[in-house]
């Protein structure tokens, strides 16, 4: 039987869903939820929304709209974990536990925080002017979202990859600090073929640019918005370049390969912009009309959506509650009766096992270390192009428990013909083999 992969996706509840959200996140996620061999977690990130807005009605309304969108587009809450972030109290608790092992320097390097500091510096303001702690701590909350449910894969855009790497770093620090493999180290799943949709003005479709096309606007409003797409001045009969056309890019995101080829030919033959926009409207409306009808029904039944979210929270907490208990105990937040005796050493945790620590260096490459139970580094890996490659090597070392390792050229360690890495100063190959064997017990 193949291993189950856990996939987790969240959408911040701070706005109304648009076509870009649908094509880039909702549609592929719903399709993925139906695949065998996966456990899918979908959540409404309303804690994250508080960083972006102080309007409570906006957060509440967006939560309703986004929940209705997922359900209208075919997400089956019986087959997945579908919940609202704020209904899981273990998530903010885990955020604090992770905060206590997160390096401040790591958070200083977060792209969103650095960008805000850079803008302030450029404008001659205090570096932290207008920056709330929520923005600064955002990566830790995101790590808690992911690590709570031991997600293996997190579909993200390229601008979010750093957050997954930070979650891995935080998880590895915790595992090392408390001597266990408590957290799964997640990987970013970047959809290479999902294009970023352009908005009405040709820039990336974004609420920030006020250029979005609402996902479930009535057909008349959808047609009006599409008519407002900015185009060039080429007249009917003049050939048009589909590769720099917002109309064509949007059409391609909804059309089959045959329909796309036909539209490309029509552009070469000089189709008028009015006719091209009409075809775009008809194609989008054909796909969205059934979901739009379901969406309107759901929006009118907030109690039904609330019941679904509460059921989802109950299902999610069945995993979160015992896990946070395990983490609390590991950190010493436990009943006094759980500690036998009164000796000076009784409060210390049991002897830790050896562990692996994965990280990314400034060269952009990924590495791992094998760390002994006493915290000494035993083995430093060679560079890997991706966290997946490093993880696969770690899994191989775990599975084989040190068998086949041999030392060549002073400190170099090989497995068969593959170079694994180098022994750390004062470490021996026997210690490496013993550590791997202990991890396999």
* Integer Cα distance of 12 and 252 in angstroms: 27
Domain boundary among 256, 275, 299: 299
Residue 349 has pLDDT above 60, yes or no: no
Strand (E) positions, 46-159?
A: 81-84, 153-156
User: Do 295 and 307 have their domain in common?
Assistant: no
Instruction: Give the mean pLDDT of 335-352.
Output: 54
Give phi and psi for 243, each to the nearest 5.
Answer: -75, -10
Cα atoms in the Cβ-side hemisphere of radius 13 Å centred on 127: 7
Do 40 and 185 belong to one domain? yes
The mean pLDDT value for 204-225 works out to: 92
Question: Is the pLDDT at 218 greater than 80, yes or no?
Answer: yes
Q: Check pLDDT > 80 for residue 441.
A: no
Provide the domain limits for residue 401: 355-440
Give me the pLDDT at residue 343, please. Answer: 42
In this structure, the answer to whether residues 17 and 136 fall within a common structural domain is yes
Say which CATH number the domain at 390 has.
2.30.29.80
Average pLDDT estimate for 397-423:
83
Residues 319 and 426 in one domain: no
Radius of gyration of the chain (CA): 26
Taking 90 as the threshold, does the pLDDT of residue 249 lie above it?
yes
Give 328's pLDDT tier (boundaries 50, 70, 90). Answer: very high
Residue 221 lies in a domain: yes
Query: What would the mean pLDDT of 319-327 be, rounded to a whole number?
Result: 95
Contact 6, 81 (CB under 8 A): no
Rank 143-152, 338-347, 381-390 by mean pLDDT and report only the highest: 143-152
Let me know if residue 189 belongs to a domain.
yes
Query: Quick one: DSSP state of residue 334?
Result: S
In this structure, the answer to whether residues 54 and 189 fall within a common structural domain is: yes
Mean pLDDT of 234-244: 94
Task: Output the DSSP codes for 350-374.
Answer: PPPPPEEEEEE-TTS-EEEEEE-TT
- pLDDT band at 400; cut points 50, 70, 90: confident
**H or E segment and range at residue 39:** strand 38-45
Is 336 a domain residue? no
Place of tokens 């929520």: 134
Task: Evaluate whether residue 338 is within a structural domain.
Answer: no
For the beta carbon of residue 86, count every other beta carbon within 10 angstroms: 20
**Which tokens sit at 37?**
């061999």
pLDDT, greater one: 208 or 55: 55
- How many CB atoms neighbour CB 121 within 10 A? 12
Closest CA to 185 of 161, 169, 168: 168
Q: Indicate the SS3 state at residue 154.
A: strand
Q: Is residue 200 part of a domain?
A: no
pLDDT of amino acid 228:
95
In the chain, pLDDT over 90 holds for what percent of residues?
Answer: 60
What average pLDDT does the segment 43-50 reach? 96
pLDDT of residue 342: 40
Q: Name residue, tokens 């648009």.
A: 18
Pair of tokens at residue 38: 């996966």
> What are the beta bridge partners of residue 44?
11, 84
Indicate the number of domains in the chain.
3
- Specify if 154 maps to a domain: yes
The pLDDT tens digits for 79-89 are 999 999 999 99
Same domain, 305 and 269: no
* Residue 132 banded pLDDT, cuts 50, 70, 90: very high
User: Are residue 138 and residue 226 in the same domain, yes or no?
Assistant: no
Q: Count of CB atoms within 10 A of residue 437's CB?
A: 13
- Assigned domain for 345 exists: no
pLDDT digits (tens, 9 = 90+) for 101-129: 999 999 999 989 999 999 999 999 999 99
pLDDT for position 260: 95
Query: Residue 125 falls within a domain, yes or no?
Result: yes
The residue ranking higher by pLDDT, 67 or 392, is 67
Statement to judge: residues 247 and 177 lie in one domain: no
pTM of the predicted protein model = 0.74
Sheet of 418-423: strand order equals: 355-360, 366-371, 377-381, 418-423, 412-415, 405-408
**Of 330, 378, 328, residue with least CA distance to 354:** 378
User: For 93-102, how does the pLDDT look when each residue is reduced to its tens digit (9 = 90+)?
Assistant: 999 999 999 9
276 and 307 housed in the same domain:
no
259: domain CATH number is 1.10.240.10
- Asked which of 112-116, 287-291, 330-334, 431-435 is least confident by mean pLDDT, the reply is 431-435
pLDDT tier at 74, thresholds 50, 70, 90: very high
The closest of 14, 73, 84, 3 to 42, measured between CA atoms, is 84
Give the tens place of pLDDT for each residue, 254-282: 999 999 999 999 999 999 999 999 999 99
The pLDDT, as a whole number, for residue 252 is 93
The reported pLDDT for the residue numbered 387 is 79
Claim to verify: residue 310 and residue 291 sit in the same structural domain: no
Residue 424 pLDDT level (bands cut at 50, 70, 90): confident
CA distance 105 to 172: 16
Count the Cβ atoms, other than its own, within 10 Å of residue 187: 20
Q: Lowest-pLDDT range, 331-345, 355-369, 391-405?
A: 331-345
CA distance 312 to 84: 8
85 and 188 in a single domain? The answer is yes
What pLDDT shows up at residue 135?
94
Indicate if 185 and 140 belong to the same structural domain: yes
H or E segment to which residue 44 belongs:
strand 38-45
């Amino acid at each position: 039987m193949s291993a189950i992969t856990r996939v987790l996706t969240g959408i911040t509840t701070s706005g109304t869903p648009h076509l870009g959200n649908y094509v880039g996140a909702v549609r592929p996620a719903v399709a993925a939820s139906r695949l065998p061999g996966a456990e899918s977690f979908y959540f409404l990130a309303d804690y994250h929304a508080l960083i972006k807005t102080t309007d409570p009605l906006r957060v509440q309304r967006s939560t309703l709209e986004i929940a209705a969108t997922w359900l209208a587009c075919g997400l089956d809450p019986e087959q997945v974990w579908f919940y609202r972030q704020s209904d899981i109290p273990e998530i903010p608790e885990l955020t604090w536990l992770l905060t206590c092992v997160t390096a401040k320097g790591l958070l200083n390097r977060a792209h969103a925080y650095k960008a805000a500091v850079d803008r302030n510096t450029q404008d001659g303001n205090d570096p932290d002017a207008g920056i709330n702690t929520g923005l600064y701590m955002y990566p830790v909350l995101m790590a808690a979202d992911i690590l709570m449910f031991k997600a293996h894969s997190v579909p993200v855009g390229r601008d979010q990859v750093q957050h997954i790497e930070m979650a891995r770093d935080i998880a590895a620090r915790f595992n090392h600090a408390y001597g266990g493999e408590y957290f799964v180290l997640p990987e970013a799943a970047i959809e290479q073929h999902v294009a970023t949709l352009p908005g009405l003005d040709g820039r990336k479709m974004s609420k920030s640019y006020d250029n979005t096309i609402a996902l479930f606007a009535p057909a008349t409003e959808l047609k009006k918005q599409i008519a407002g797409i900015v185009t060039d001045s080429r007249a009917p009969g003049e050939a048009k370049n589909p590769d720099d056309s917002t109309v064509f890019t949007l059409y391609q995101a909804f059309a089959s390969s045959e329909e796309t080829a036909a539209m490309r030919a029509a552009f070469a033959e000089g189709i008028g912009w009015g006719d091209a926009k009409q075809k775009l409207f008809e194609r989008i409306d054909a796909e969205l009309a059934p979901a739009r009808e379901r969406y309107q029904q759901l929006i009118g039944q907030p109690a039904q959506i609330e019941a679904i979210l509460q059921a989802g929270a109950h299902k999610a907490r069945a995993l979160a509650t015992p896990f946070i208990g395990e983490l609390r105990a590991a950190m010493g937040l436990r009943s006094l009766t759980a500690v036998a005796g009164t000796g000076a050493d009784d409060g210390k945790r049991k002897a830790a096992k050896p562990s692996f620590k994965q990280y990314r260096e400034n060269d952009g490459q990924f590495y791992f270390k094998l760390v002994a139970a006493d915290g000494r580094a035993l083995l430093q890996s060679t560079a890997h192009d991706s966290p997946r490659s490093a993880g696969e090597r770690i899994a191989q070392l775990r599975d084989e428990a040190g068998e086949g390792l041999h030392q060549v050229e002073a400190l170099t360690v090989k497995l068969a013909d593959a170079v694994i890495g180098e022994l750390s100063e004062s470490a021996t190959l026997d210690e490496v083999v013993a550590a791997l064997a202990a991890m396999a017990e």
